[in-house]
Amino acid sequence: MMKILSDAIAGMLGPEAAIYALAAIGLNIHFGYTGLLNFGQVAFMLVGAYGLAAGVVTFGLPFWAGILIGIACAVVLALILGIPTLRLRGDYLAIATIAAGEVLRYVYRSGYAEPVTNGVFGLRQFADPFYAMSPLPDHDFDLGITTFSARNLWVMIVSWSLVALACALVYLLIHSPWGRVLRAVREDELAARSLGKNVYGFKLQSLVLGGVLGAIAGALLAINTQSAYPDTYDPKVTFYLYAIVILGGAARVLGPVLGSLIFWLILAFLGSFLRAASDAGVIPAEVLGSSAIGALVIAFVGLGLLLLMVFRPSGILGNSKEMRLDVR
Amino acid sequence: MLRRLMVAVAVCMASLFVSSGAAVSAAGMDDASSPVAAKDSTSQSIFGTVRSPAGKPLAGLTITVTRGGKKVGSATTDNKGSWKIPVPGHGTYVVALDVGTLPKGLQVRTKGGETLGHVDVSTGEDQPVLFGLAAAGAPQEKSTPGATSAPASAAPTSEASGGDRTSGFGSRAMQLLIGGIEYGSIIAITAVGLSLVFGTTRLINFAHGEMVMMGAVVAFIMSTGSGGLPLAAAAVVAMIAVGALGAGFELVLWRPLRKRGAGLIQMFIISIGLSLFVRHVVLAFFGGRRRQYDQYAVQDSIRLGAIEITPRDLTITLISLAILVGVALVLQHTRIGKATRAVADNKDLAEASGIDVNRVILVVWVAGGALAGLGGVFFGLSEAVFWNMGFNLLLLMFAGIIVGGLGSAYGAIIGSLLVGLVAQLSTLWFSPELQSAWALLALIVVLLFRPQGILGRAERAG
Cβ–Cβ below 8 Å for B436 and A102? yes
pLDDT of residue B135 exceeding 80, the answer is no
3-state SS, residue A25: helix
DSSP state for residue B432 in the 8-state scheme: G
With beta carbons less than 8 A apart as the criterion, state whether B420 and B181 touch: yes
More confident residue, B58 or A320: B58
Lowest mean pLDDT segment, chosen from A235-249, B18-32, B35-49, B151-165 = B18-32
What is the reported pLDDT for B111? Answer: 61
**Residues from chain A contacting residue B26 (CB–CB below 8 Å):** none
Domain ranges of chain A: 15-234
With beta carbons less than 8 A apart as the criterion, state whether B436 and A106 touch: yes
**Using one digit for the tens of pLDDT, what is the confidence trace for B344-393?**
888 899 999 999 999 999 999 999 999 999 999 999 998 889 999 999 89
Region B230-248: mean pLDDT is 95
CA–CA dist A29, B80 (Å, integer)? 53
**Å between B101 CA and nearest CA of chain A:** 27
More confident residue, B425 or B123: B425
End-to-end CA distance of chain B: 47
- Name the residue among B128, B192, B212, B191 with its Cα closest to residue B385: B212
Residue of A nearest to B287 (CA): A292
pLDDT of residue B426 exceeding 80, the answer is yes
**Residues from chain B contacting residue A279 (CB–CB below 8 Å):** 35
- Name the residue among A298, A52, A232, A127 with its Cα closest to residue B88: A232
pTM: 0.77
Q: Does B394 touch chain A (CB under 8 A)?
A: no
Cβ–Cβ below 8 Å for A99 and B283? no
CA–CA dist B74, B97 (Å, integer)? 10
pLDDT of residue A183 exceeding 70, the answer is yes
Residue of A nearest to B443 (CA): A96
Cβ–Cβ below 8 Å for B89 and A242? no
For residue B397, name the pLDDT band (cuts at 50, 70, 90): very high
For residue B152, name the pLDDT band (cuts at 50, 70, 90): very low
Domain B156-461 -> CATH class: mainly alpha
What is the reported pLDDT for B307? Answer: 79
Cβ–Cβ below 8 Å for A299 and B277? yes
Q: Does B35 touch chain A (CB under 8 A)?
A: yes
For residue B145, name the pLDDT band (cuts at 50, 70, 90): very low
| B43, burial (CB in 10 Å: exposed 0-12, middle 13-18, buried 19+) | buried
Phi, psi at B102, each rounded to 5°: -70, 140
Domain ranges of chain B: 2-135, 156-461
**Å between B262 CA and nearest CA of chain A:** 5
As separate numbers, helices (DSSP H) first and strands (DSSP E) second, chain B gives 15, 11
Q: Is the dihedral angle over the CA atoms B142, B146, B150, B153 positive or is it negative? A: negative
B316 φ/ψ sector (left φ>0, alpha ψ -120 to 50, else beta): alpha
What is the reported pLDDT for A39? Answer: 92
**Å between B178 CA and nearest CA of chain A:** 25
**Residues from chain A contacting residue B399 (CB–CB below 8 Å):** 99
The per-residue b/e assignment along B317-329, b for 16 or more CB within 10 angstroms, e otherwise, is: beebbebbeebee
With beta carbons less than 8 A apart as the criterion, state whether B148 and B118 touch: yes
B6 alpha-carbon distance from chain centroid: 17
**Residues from chain B contacting residue A43 (CB–CB below 8 Å):** none
The per-residue b/e assignment along A140-176, b for 16 or more CB within 10 angstroms, e otherwise, is: eeeeeebebebbbbbbbebbbebbeebbeebeebbee
Among A1-5, B76-80, B90-94, top mean pLDDT goes to A1-5
For residue B73, name the pLDDT band (cuts at 50, 70, 90): confident
With beta carbons less than 8 A apart as the criterion, state whether A300 and B236 touch: no
Cβ–Cβ below 8 Å for A309 and B269? yes
Q: How would DSSP label each residue in B291-337?
A: B--STTSS---EEETTEEE-HHHHHHHHHHHHHHHHHHHHHHHSHHH
3-state SS, residue B430: coil
- Per cent of chain B over pLDDT 70 is 78
With beta carbons less than 8 A apart as the criterion, state whether B120 and B65 touch: no
**Using one digit for the tens of pLDDT, what is the confidence trace for A193-203?**
999 999 999 99
**Å between A66 CA and nearest CA of chain B:** 22
CA–CA dist A291, A289 (Å, integer)? 5
CA–CA dist A311, B257 (Å, integer)? 10
What is the reported pLDDT for B320? Answer: 95
End-to-end CA distance of chain A: 45
Alpha helix locations (H) across chain A?
A: 2-13, 15-27, 41-57, 63-85, 90-109, 114-117, 128-132, 150-174, 177-187, 189-194, 199-225, 235-248, 255-279, 292-311
More confident residue, B276 or B264: B276
Cβ–Cβ below 8 Å for B70 and A121? yes
Residue of A nearest to B88 (CA): A121
More confident residue, B226 or A165: A165
Region A8-27: mean pLDDT is 94
- Name the residue among A264, A265, A286, A288 with its Cα closest to residue A276: A288
What CATH number belongs to B2-135?
2.60.40.10
Q: What are B127's strand-pairing partners? A: B46
What is the reported pLDDT for B11? Answer: 43
pLDDT of residue B274 exceeding 70, the answer is yes
Q: How would DSSP label each residue in B387-412?
A: TTHHHHHHHHHHHHHHHH-TT-HHHH
**Using one digit for the tens of pLDDT, what is the confidence trace for A241-254?**
999 999 998 889 99
**Using one digit for the tens of pLDDT, what is the confidence trace for B298-311?**
777 788 777 788 88
With beta carbons less than 8 A apart as the criterion, state whether A316 and A256 touch: no
**Å between A308 CA and nearest CA of chain B:** 9
The per-residue b/e assignment along A55-77, b for 16 or more CB within 10 angstroms, e otherwise, is: bbbeeebebeebbebbbebbbeb
With beta carbons less than 8 A apart as the criterion, state whether B201 and B363 touch: no
For residue B4, name the pLDDT band (cuts at 50, 70, 90): very low
pLDDT of residue A86 exceeding 70, the answer is yes
What is the reported pLDDT for B137? Answer: 55
CB pairs under 8 A between A and B: 209
